[in-house]
Amino acid sequence: MHAVTLIKGDGIGPSIMDEAVKVINASGAKIQWEDAYAGLSAFEKFGNPLPDATMESIDKTRVAFKGPLTTVVGTGFRSINVALRQKYELYANVRPATNWEGVKTRYDDVDIVIVRENTEGLYSGLEHYLTSKKDIAESLAVVTRSGSQRVIEYAFKYARDNNRKKVTVCHKANILKYTQGIFLDVARETAARYPDIQFDEKIVDAACMHMVMNPQQFDVVVTTNMFGDILSDLTAGLVGGLGLIPGANIGDDAALFEAVHGSAPDIAGKNLANPAAVIMAGVMMLNHLGEFEAAKRIKLAIEKVVREGKYVTPDLNLQSTCGTKEMGDAIVAAMG
Ligand code: ATP
Ligand code: MG
């Protein structure tokens, strides 16, 4: 049995997480779920968006499966997601974007893994006004050599372990010479230690253009926090949208799995949200736990359902009247 902290989250969170748990339970994986709360639901229940009990659970399980969270303004947190990533030093945010059979997109053969630095950069939380009139504000991007090293090393090791050929570092060291400069230097040093992996460097603005014009040239991409946030939504757009992209937040002694998308308040409570992204995050979690068979079963089942295009939510097929729950049921049925 693997104990996993389960945080269903806010907005569309509970509905998509219910489907993900249903699918994972049906896959044969041996998971013992520990319910915990964070975000708006935790604030409403306990008056605290990040209760001690939640952290005690993660301290113990070291693995969390989480829906999207809404951060309540005025609770001392800028973002609960960022707080969790920083507390558990989940320094590598891995976001794979791959074409799906049955999802019509502009390009075929897109298979990009973004590895986003997840604990520093512009997300360090150092932002303030410089004047009492609040007409000048300042944000500090903190980049450390050690913080860069651990995520870049992770990206190269990931490439090697997953039979990938190339790592591209996306940066802006031509303008941000020190912060981005450290990141680029470390990437070059690390690349020299991985002669079997091709290395490329691109300035982030040019990388955006290349990604939109010729995405097949990208394989593993490693980048700083804010650029990774933006580039991963771009890659989501290349393969069919946010409803399909999972994310793994990896540290040395804890990991948290979630969808890349947020709580999507516009479609919450309408049975419209696509559960595929969190279910694929569940697949990443099962692989992390060594439940390879169960992970494979779920992946094949969800691919079949998406390929057939009947029981998919409207973001994948505008004519579809299938809801979140029906799509989850179809995935369970497809596992046979
Ligand atoms: P948050 O503030 O929590 O990030 P958001 O309004 O930015 O929420 P996102 O979840 O980031 O919303 O997504 C942006 C849009 O993409 C949503 O408004 C929604 O229409 C769409 N979207 C996101 N996730 C899904 C999903 N799982 N299924 C279908 N559509 C989705
Ligand atoms: Mg968002």
- Catalytic: 310? no
288 pLDDT tier (thresholds 50, 70, 90): very high
Of ligand 1's atoms, which has the minimum distance to the CA of residue 314?
A: 29
Residues 6+ apart with CB under 8 A from 129: 135, 136, 137, 138
Tell me the C-alpha distance between 175 and 63, whole Å: 38
Supply the pLDDT for residue 120: 95
Closest CA to ligand 1's atom 20: 264
pTM of the model: 0.95
pLDDT in tens, 105-162: 999 999 999 999 999 999 988 999 999 999 999 999 999 999 999 999 999 999 999 9
pLDDT in tens, 70-102: 988 887 888 999 999 999 999 999 999 999 999
Supply the pLDDT for residue 77: 83
Supply the pLDDT for residue 182: 98
Of ligand 1's atoms, which has the minimum distance to the CA of residue 315?
A: 29
Domain map (residue ranges) of the chain: 1-102+240-336, 106-239
Ligand 2 ion: nearby residues, β-carbon < 5 Å:
262
What superfamily does domain 106-239 belong to in CATH? Answer: Isopropylmalate Dehydrogenase (3.40.718.10)
Which ligand has the nearest atom to the CA of 69?
A: 1
256 pLDDT higher than 90: yes
Residues 6+ apart with CB under 8 A from 254: 58, 62, 63, 64, 88, 89, 90
Q: How large is the greatest C-alpha to C-alpha distance in the chain, in angstroms?
A: 64
Of ligand 1's atoms, which has the minimum distance to the CA of residue 11?
A: 3
Q: Does domain 1-102+240-336 have CATH number 3.40.718.10?
A: yes
Closest CA to ligand 1's atom 25: 243
- Catalytic: 123? yes
- 275 Cα: distance to centroid of ligand 1 (angstroms): 12
- Catalytic: 329? no
- 178 Cα: distance to centroid of ligand 1 (angstroms): 34
- 263 Cα: distance to centroid of ligand 2 (angstroms): 7
Closest CA to ligand 1's atom 19: 264
- 106-239 matches 1-102+240-336 in CATH topology: yes
| Residue 109 in tokens | 């053969």
Tell me the C-alpha distance between 234 and 110, whole Å: 12
Of ligand 1's atoms, which has the minimum distance to the CA of residue 274?
A: 28
Which ligand has the nearest atom to the CA of 236?
A: 1
